[in-house]
């Protein structure tokens, strides 16, 4: 039945994969040579292995799920993996539901060449931007109202831009939704190795939750995971990513499509050697998480000193920062005005929430991992100065009667001991 949910492109046979050129590869997979266990088998003379990446992905999931390398398709980064999945699962004009805020690149990766649509699942700060059944159902109804056929939900776990991991409960909600509506679930887990809280962080893979689901076998063909080494190994330039799917038709179609975004044999060879060193990868991931946690703490602390709060997070290379108290009005225009000030006057390139389709003005994403600790300190000092001077400088607001103007949030700002700054704005 899940097969019926694929796109025409995934189901058709026009790729030319049936030529003997490709069939030789398939024969090798059925009967691989091994000097000890299968000395008469076929010797592979051109294709690198997916095993090392599958093992590494399992390692990042605490070895609680075993990934089958045959279900893995290598792609030129997650960008390509996400687009390939949409090509496999949707026709132009069909839709995927995405929780907001989401990674701005998805508008390009999921929609641009595929012709598919995105319908937002509106998440809000009132519950820390958590995904609820109600919000998912609402987005589904909205899509139907727009006459869009929904083919699935796509989440990023851990989230870019929130820096939070989905809870087991949120994932179960999504799995149940996929079953109830007969749709797919794509989980982009590109930040899996950045989950820094505690030993394993709060991160749990959709694969692990699916494994424990009573309808596991019904889910296997509709759950797809996207991964890449761009974040966890800091290798975006290598363009190594993958999609992992329990749906054989999706794997077959994606393998054909991967012709358009291959990872070079040399790159595969190098990375297979690197990833096969399990001691190295374990030490690398642990040290990476330790440094991310440290840097994250430095940013949160520095922001706090400036009187700025952010969403509590447990993963990722960024924080989701609440700058609502700095807005002159509760609007996206005011958010853009603040953004322009921060970029052009303060000299910090940060991303406004509206670029991530956040439904509430005043949230910004701040990356902390792409600079030295000294540079982060310079950035924090600039921000602290900006916040402080915005209070002293008597900006463009005439001081009124000394009471906070506009949004109630100003009261919260004052509680932070920065009342004078907010009365006048900046
Ligand atoms: C959630 C998410 N998916 C995909 C990508 C693209 O990654 P890649 O470099 O592997 O194409 C990014 C990059 O920032 C991302 O944040």
Structure tokens at 128: 């820390």
Residue 44 has pLDDT above 80, yes or no: no
Rounded Cα distance, 415 and 417, in Å: 5
Structure tokens at 417: 């001991």
Of the listed ranges 34-43, 44-53, 160-169, the one predicted with least confidence: 44-53
Rounded Cα distance, 80 and 370, in Å: 23
**160 C-beta closer than 6 A to ligand 1:** yes
Instruction: Specify whether 190 is catalytic.
Output: yes
Instruction: Specify whether 33 is catalytic.
Output: no
**84 C-beta closer than 6 A to ligand 1:** no
pLDDT digits (tens, 9 = 90+) for 150-199: 999 999 999 999 999 999 999 999 999 999 999 999 999 999 999 998 65
**78 C-beta closer than 6 A to ligand 1:** yes
**Residues 416, 129, 103, 296, CA torsion sign:** positive
Cα–Cα distances (Å) from 272 to 6, 97, 194, in that order, read 31, 35, 21
**228 C-beta closer than 6 A to ligand 1:** yes
Catalytic option among 109, 117, 121, 231? 231
- The conformation of residue 317, written as its DSSP 8-state character, comes to S
Q: Residue of the nearest CA to atom 3 in ligand 1?
A: 78
- In the prediction, which pLDDT does 394 show? 32
Omega within 30 of 0 (cis) for the link into 386: no
Residue 210 has pLDDT above 60, yes or no: yes
pLDDT digits (tens, 9 = 90+) for 76-97: 999 999 999 999 999 999 999 9
Residue 270 has pLDDT above 50, yes or no: yes
Exposed, middle or buried: residue 166 (CB in 10 Å: 0-12, 13-18, 19+)?
buried
Segment 111-120 mean pLDDT: 98
Rounded to two decimals, what is the model's pTM? 0.86
Instruction: Specify whether 322 is catalytic.
Output: no
**56 C-beta closer than 6 A to ligand 1:** no
Q: How far is the CA of 318 from the centre of ligand 1 (A)?
A: 14
Tell which one of 158, 190, 271 to mutate to probe ligand 1, the residue whose CB is within 8 A of the most ligand atoms: 190
- In the prediction, which pLDDT does 418 show? 26
Domains defined along the chain, listed by start: 2-277 (3.40.640.10), 280-390 (3.90.1150.10)
DSSP assignment of 181-200, as one string?
HT-EEEEE-TTGGG--STTT
Catalytic option among 118, 190, 292, 350? 190
- In the prediction, which pLDDT does 365 show? 97
Within 8 A by CB and 6+ apart from 425, the residues are 328, 390, 395, 396, 397
Q: How far is the CA of 65 from the centre of ligand 1 (A)?
A: 23
pLDDT averaged over the chain? 88
Tell which one of 57, 78, 189 to mutate to probe ligand 1, the residue whose CB is within 8 A of the most ligand atoms: 78
Structure tokens at 349: 């390139």
Question: 310 - beta bridge partners?
Answer: 321
- In the prediction, which pLDDT does 27 show? 80
**247 C-beta closer than 6 A to ligand 1:** no
pLDDT digits (tens, 9 = 90+) for 319-359: 999 999 999 999 999 999 999 999 999 999 999 999 999 99
Instruction: Specify whether 231 is catalytic.
Output: yes
Tell which one of 194, 228, 320 to mutate to probe ligand 1, the residue whose CB is within 8 A of the most ligand atoms: 228
């Amino acid at each position: 039945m899940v097969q019926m949910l694929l796109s025409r492109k995934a189901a058709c046979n026009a790729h030319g994969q049936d030529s003997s050129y490709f069939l030789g590869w398939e024969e090798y997979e059925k009967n691989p040579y091994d000097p000890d266990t299968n000395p008469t088998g076929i010797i592979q003379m051109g294709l690198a292995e997916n095993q090392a990446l599958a093992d590494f992905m399992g390692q990042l999931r605490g070895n609680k799920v075993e990934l089958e390398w045959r279900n893995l398709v290598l792609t030129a980064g997650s960008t390509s993996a996400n687009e390939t999945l949409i090509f496999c699962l949707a026709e132009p004009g069909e839709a995927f539901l995405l929780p907001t805020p989401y990674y701005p690149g998805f508008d390009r990766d999921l929609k641009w060449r595929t012709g598919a649509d995105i319908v937002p699942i509106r998440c809000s700060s009132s519950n820390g931007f958590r995904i609820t059944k109600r919000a998912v159902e609402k987005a589904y109804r909205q899509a139907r109202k727009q006459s869009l056929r929904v083919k699935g939900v796509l989440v990023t776990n851990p989230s870019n831009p929130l820096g939070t991991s989905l809870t087991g409960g949120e994932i179960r909600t999504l799995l149940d939704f996929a079953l109830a509506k007969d749709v797919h679930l794509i989980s982009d887990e590109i930040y899996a190795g950045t989950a820094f809280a505690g030993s394993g962080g709060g991160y749990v893979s959709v694969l692990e939750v699916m494994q424990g689901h009573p309808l596991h076998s019904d889910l296997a063909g509709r759950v797809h995971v996207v991964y890449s080494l761009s974040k966890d190994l800091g290798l975006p330039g290598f363009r190594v990513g993958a999609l992992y799917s329990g749906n054989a038709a999706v794997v077959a179609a994606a393998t054909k499509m991967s012709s358009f975004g291959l990872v070079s044999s040399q790159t595969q060879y190098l990375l297979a050697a690197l990833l096969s060193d399990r001691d190295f990868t374990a030490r690398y991931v642990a040290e990476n998480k330790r440094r991310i946690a440290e840097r994250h703490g430095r940013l949160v602390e520095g922001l706090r000193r400036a009187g700025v709060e952010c969403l509590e997070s447990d993963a990722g290379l960024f924080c989701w920062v609440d700058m609502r108290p700095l807005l002159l009005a509760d609007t996206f225009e005011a958010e853009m005005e603040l953004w322009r000030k921060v970029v052009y006057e303060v000299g910090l390139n940060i991303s406004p929430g509206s670029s991530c389709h956040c439904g509430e003005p005043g949230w910004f994403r701040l990356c902390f991992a792409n600079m030295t600790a000294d540079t982060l300190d310079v950035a924090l000092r600039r921000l602290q100065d900006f916040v402080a001077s915005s209070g002293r400088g008597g900006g463009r607001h005439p001081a009124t009667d000394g009471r906070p103007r506009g949004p109630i949030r100003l009261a919260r700002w004052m509680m932070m001991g920065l009342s004078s700054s907010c009365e006048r704005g900046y």
